[in-house]
Amino acid sequence: MLKVLGAALVVVASGMIGLTISREYQQRPGQLRDLQAALQLLDTEIGYASTPLPDAVVKVGKCVGPPVAGLFSEVAQLLRTRKGYTATEAWQEALKKLQLNSALRPADLEILFTFGHTLGGTNKEEQRKSIQLAYQQLKQQQGQAEEERARNETLWRYAGFLVGMLLVILIY
């Protein structure tokens, strides 16, 4: 009886690991789409509405889903605390939290990190160019993420359970 229970536990645990990895592949393209939408909204707020950056990031944060909304909300909060954060510093701090709560890869975060260096430090036209560059780079990353999802999501979903069954066979 204990052997059967132990075997079931091994299969379920390895299956859950596979499902967790699969979920990362599933969530990343959506998060990249949300980031692209957020950058388009930010471009509109800065370029056409001439909204000040702290107000623009608040508006953007309300229009996108988690965890991207958290990035913009955190930037807005840091800018409004008046603790001396520049827009770039606030962006970098918020990215650290996003890194922990998202399925984004280091290459995705590097695009955002680089974009953050220009945030709030240039004129409106240069800011818009920087937003468009980051948007295009994220769009490329999204294409790659979609390909990876198509290739790996189902693989990891089943591989976790199969590895668990293999371990049970090898152990018993």
Residues 130 and 120: beta-carbon distance below 8 Å: no
pTM of model > 0.75: yes
Residue 48 has pLDDT above 80, yes or no: yes
The pLDDT tens digits for 55-70 are 999 999 999 999 999 9
Residue 50 binned pLDDT confidence (cut-offs 50, 70, 90): confident
Return the domain boundaries, the chain. 28-171
Output the pLDDT for position 83.
80
Residue 82 has pLDDT above 80, yes or no: no
Residue 37 has pLDDT above 90, yes or no: yes
- Nearest-angstrom CA–CA distance, 105 and 140: 13
